[in-house]
Amino acid sequence: MKKILLFTIAIVGFALNAKSQMGPIALSFDLAKPTGEFGEVYGIGYGFNWSYEEFVSNKVGITIHLGSTIITPKSENSQDTAYLSNYLDNYTMLHAQLGLRYYFSSHDDGWYAMYQWGASRNTSTVTLNDNYYGFSYTYEDVSSYRLSTWSLGYKAGRKWDYSFRFNTMKYLASSSPDPARFIGFRISRTLFGDRREY
């Protein structure tokens, strides 16, 4: 979380000093819905994302994304008895991605498609409470993943951006299991920068 905050301060400070000379910097709100086996354990997720885009042409942009997503567990995956309680806590993702965006009309307005590729550092937490002896134990698993995303979106002018997203996560380890997948919806608002030279 500290890294996200420091990145946010750096981006805002840099934008205030050079906003007329740079591409758009946007803040996004994300909704996520896990699918498949991932969706059997976790429910709805939400998060925020910072992005920067540098236009290569009137129809192509290169993007940088940094954000965090929290996915809540389904209640049926927690157990509570007279002697033992087993609680599955939130699933937290810190992710960074590079992207290539293609605009079907122009980068000022209209539909676009985008592919992003990067990495995610994910943390899942389980809390075990022994109600008989009165002790509590928390187990935390931190893993690194490859994160790839396909998006179809619509840019409503120079400020607002709406997109549907299909995300795939796969362990960085060589002997990785089946990938985890989730779909998402993102609303973005451009805050700084609006350069149109390329």
SS (H, E, C) 15-36: HHHHHHHCCCEEEEEEEEEEEH
Percent of the chain residues past pLDDT 90, beyond the cut: 40
Could you give the CA distance from residue 39 to residue 61 in angstroms, rounded to a whole number? Answer: 32
Could you give the CA distance from residue 197 to residue 110 in angstroms, rounded to a whole number? Answer: 19
Tokens 């009137």 locate to: 58
pLDDT of residue 114 exceeding 80 = yes
> For 149-174, what is the mean pLDDT?
89
More confident of the two residues 140 and 79: 140
**Strand spans (E) along 157-195:** 160-171, 180-192
The answer regarding whether domain 2-192 maps to CATH 3.40.50.300 reads no
Distance from chain centroid for Cα 39? 16
Contacts of 181 (CB under 8 A, 6+ apart): 34, 35, 36, 38, 166, 167, 168, 169
More confident of the two residues 138 and 90: 90
Could you give the CA distance from residue 28 to residue 95 in angstroms, rounded to a whole number? Answer: 14
Could you give the CA distance from residue 59 to residue 39 in angstroms, rounded to a whole number? Answer: 35
| Three-state DSSP state, 77 | helix
Could you give the CA distance from residue 11 to residue 27 in angstroms, rounded to a whole number? Answer: 11
Structure token digits, residue 113:
């498609």
Taken in order 132, 139, 37, 31, the sign of the CA dihedral is positive
Least confident of 13-17, 33-37, 145-149, 161-165: 13-17
**Strand spans (E) along the chain:** 25-35, 42-55, 60-73, 79-80, 84-103, 110-130, 135-156, 160-171, 180-192
